[in-house]
Amino acid sequence: MTASPSPAELFRHSLRLLLDKDIAGWVRLWDDDGVLEFPFAPEGWPRRLEGKAAVLDYMRDYPDHIDLQAFPDLTIHRTDDPATVVVEMRGVGRLVKSEEPFDMRYIAVVTVADGRFTHYRDYWNPLALPQDGTADFTGRGR
């Protein structure tokens, strides 16, 4: 029997999957009842996704809109709760439609149980997205 990955190991693995454009693999890292929250989501964008199916629906077309190429700045902080980490990171790449550069800083609070994401609060900056809608990969935004 192998031990479950630590929250930091699971998070690092999830970033590799995103860079590989393996959204199905990334979603497999989620607990069936996992919750993904976006506290700073702009009006018209989802603020809370409940369950693995909702996460897959949200992320399914991500590589068609944002071509992530690197996470050059990554710091993972441990917390008093061994199941939870706080992550500071920067994702860079390009917007597929416009070919414009993509450069976003994130803070995430991530909780893991049994090697799966159970709760992920993603504090991304909606003001950093182009206002023309080219980064709306959800189909639910503007």
pLDDT tens figures, 42-61: 888 899 999 999 999 999 99
Q: What is the pLDDT of residue 43?
A: 87
Q: What domain range is 107 assigned to?
A: 7-126
Is 80 exceeded by the pLDDT of residue 141? no
Q: Does residue 136 form part of some domain?
A: no
Mean pLDDT along residues 15-21? 98
CB 5 within 8 A of CB 116: no
Q: What amino acid occupies position 118?
A: T
Q: Does residue 30 form part of some domain?
A: yes
pLDDT tens figures, 77-111: 999 999 999 999 999 999 999 999 999 999 999 99
Q: Does residue 132 form part of some domain?
A: no
Q: Does residue 28 form part of some domain?
A: yes
pLDDT > 90: percent of the chain: 82
Record the pTM.
0.88
Q: What is the pLDDT of residue 117?
A: 98
Which of 80, 105, 90, 106 is closest to 7 using CA atoms? 80
CB 48 within 8 A of CB 37: yes
Cα-Cα-Cα-Cα dihedral sign, residues 38, 44, 50, 53: negative
When divided into structural domains, the chain yields a total of 1
Q: Does residue 137 form part of some domain?
A: no
Residue 60's CATH number: 3.10.450.50
Q: What is the pLDDT of residue 127?
A: 78
Q: What is the pLDDT of residue 129?
A: 66
Q: Does residue 74 form part of some domain?
A: yes
Is 70 exceeded by the pLDDT of residue 136? no
Q: Does residue 25 form part of some domain?
A: yes
Q: Does residue 131 form part of some domain?
A: no
